[in-house]
Structure 1
Amino acid sequence: MMKLSLGPLQYFWTREQTLSFYRDAARWPVDVIYLGETVCSKRRELGTRDWIALAEELAESGKQIVLSSLALIEAESELGALQRLMGDGRFLIEANDLSAVQLCKARGIPFVAGPTVNVYNHRALAILMDDGMSRWVPGIEQGEALLHDLRTALLADGRDMPELEVIAYGRLPLAYSARCFTARAFDVAKDQCGFRCIEHPDGLPLATREGQPLLRINGVQIQSEQVMDLGPELPALRELGVDMLRLYPQAERTSEVVAHYDLARHSPQPPPRLAARNGYWHGEPGLHRETTTPA
């Protein structure tokens, strides 16, 4: 049976909201919880020590806890925070940047390769496996056809696919930048942003000139406006050998989403669609493949 994971929090929430969310999550039917700041190092409602302390607390629930690294490491201070996050190796690390991959390799620590570590062929995947990767989370544009091809190529080389975790639900992380899109939206400098992200717990909506919803601004990250839902694709995911489904936290209804997927993974029938889009999975533009009205 497929496992469920709660992906790392992409948004900037208050300390109280974050701690309350994860203490609730400890009671949800997920198998793995990812913790840590992956978007912006300026978000310090919880520091590295706080994330580690929370990991220790949540580990008592019996779930696997994974500590996630930044997707874009730009400074020595951020590299130092990553080294502290690794600590004494008690928790698996999600490496979202090749700096994290290199540190894990140097320390002999197994790691999860996150969706911002680019992999487009089986040889790159094999190198990461040799470096210590035990689980792979493909990027959002790496859909069904590519995963099938990679598995076939690995098998032809006498290797198995690592544990495979696919992003199944949430707004999709599309791009990262050294600039802060939220600061730009409010016409302030990045270093004087005033942490405006915290005012938008599900990101800041961005519309086209015609007023059509298009994207979400989330600090240095751009997300899709629409939420992807691969629930209806569960039969194909099983056929492909996917081991784990990642559900990204949102400010509301995350517990309902988890319950929906928990029921679905125990059923032979695909569940009804919760959200609208899954085009990338089929090798189409992300805005395509709206097959039913979201619940």
Structure 2
Amino acid sequence: MYSDEYLIPEWRSAPKKAIREGVGEGLLRIGAEHKDVIVLTADLAGSTKVRAFAQEHPERFFDTGVAEQNMAGVGAGLAFEGYVPYMASYATFSPGRNWEQIRVSIVLSQANVKIIGSHSGVSSGKNGPSHQGTEDIALMRVLPRMVVLCPTDANQCVEAIEAAYYHDGPVYIRTCRPDTPNFTKPGKLEIGKAYKYREGKDLTILACGIQVWDSLMVAEELVKQGIECEVINVSSIKPLDEMTILASVEKTRKVVTVEDHQIVGGLGGAIAELLSEKLPTRLKRIGIQDRFGLSGEWGEVYQQVGLDRASLKKAVIDYLHE
């Protein structure tokens, strides 16, 4: 029923840890082994969790100040000189504020720059809508040959940082603020691969980020109503693992996407594009419904936008009964 290959044995009661913590751990791991790794930030070393790298390797850390456009240009220049720069800020500012510089200075030339967008989605809670990055997947997915990764927990985030290093070209890694269950086994994230965490026959749930664990919890609750959900972690949003996704949807013929992002242009959009071309299927997209978030505790904001577990369960049941 559940995957022993990918989930830790005690996954239901897994200790909590912020996904962004995996950024610092991953950078320390690859930074110790690869001297070409350089880290940039725009006055956010603490909250993006790159400070540990700065303390360990101060000669390879640069804070550009609140100048995200300049940070992108510096990153591109370092890449052209043979370094592998990772640049970290809030997703609402990078890629939000510096998208044009990312497009021209990095992506157009396929500069080997890795971009970390922290505090994504409305899960950043009290930071409010100005700092809640809910459009970043769309902004990055549209760029040619940009890889887009959305790890589901801190363990996967460590692997995303490492996978990005070994990919020659721009990579975007999406992280978020709150402490959430750290429930996957280490070493389980590859570019272009999705992960089936639960087998089911009635519905496919495709989720990314912290919504994967919530989807597993909802799937457990729906079993009591005789509904067997297949839950797949789409941690690689671009490129998609088309084979895994299509095989599941072909089996269930019903599919729901779940993400802390606008339903336009994010994971739901990517799946809609895939299914419309290769396996036309009625799709329900669950995410931010063409609105901004509000300021508050992230659980409260999730209730306001319909991303809490109760709302997710209701949306799935309503979809199945349509």
TM bucket normalised to smaller: 0.3 to 0.5
Could you say which structure has the higher helix fraction? 2
How high is the TM-score relative to the length of structure 2?
0.32
How high is the TM-score relative to the length of structure 1?
0.34
